[in-house]
Amino acid sequence: METQPDQPRRASRKRERPKPIRLTDAAAARVKEIMDGAEGRYIGVRIGVTNGGCAGMSYTMAYAEDIKPFEDVAEEKGVKVVIDPKAILFLIGTELDFVQERLGARFVFNNPNQTAACGCGESVSITPAKI
């Protein structure tokens, strides 16, 4: 029986993981403004999704005092965004924007995984990203 010479192992190419979230300049500026007013009490903002509402899910956004186990951290444009691990697959590819309108201002999640939204704009349907 003939033996084959050892074949060199190929270096496995790890596919680069897509960014879970990007911030527009307006969103980064608003988060910086909020953090400046917080006098160092928070490290950034925490985003996620929760079940509920008429369309099935809602986006969440809160102050982040620390980083919990398994959370992702996205640092972009001088802003730290902490992402709930249960939300990662629902948020991949999302752009967080801040919109000022005539009657108010708000953060907007431009999410390619979102399939529907309710009429009030508070609830959405999201499918997990296929990565």
Q: Which domains does the chain show, CATH number per domain?
A: 21-126 (2.60.300.12)
Phi (first) and psi of residue 30, to 5 degrees: -70, -40
Give pTM, 2 decimals.
Answer: 0.77
- Is-contact 45 31, C-beta < 8 A? yes
Q: What is the pLDDT along the chain (131 residues), one digit of tens a residue?
A: 555 555 555 555 666 666 789 999 999 999 999 999 888 899 999 999 998 777 788 889 999 999 999 999 999 899 999 999 999 988 999 999 999 999 899 999 998 888 877 766 666 777 777 76
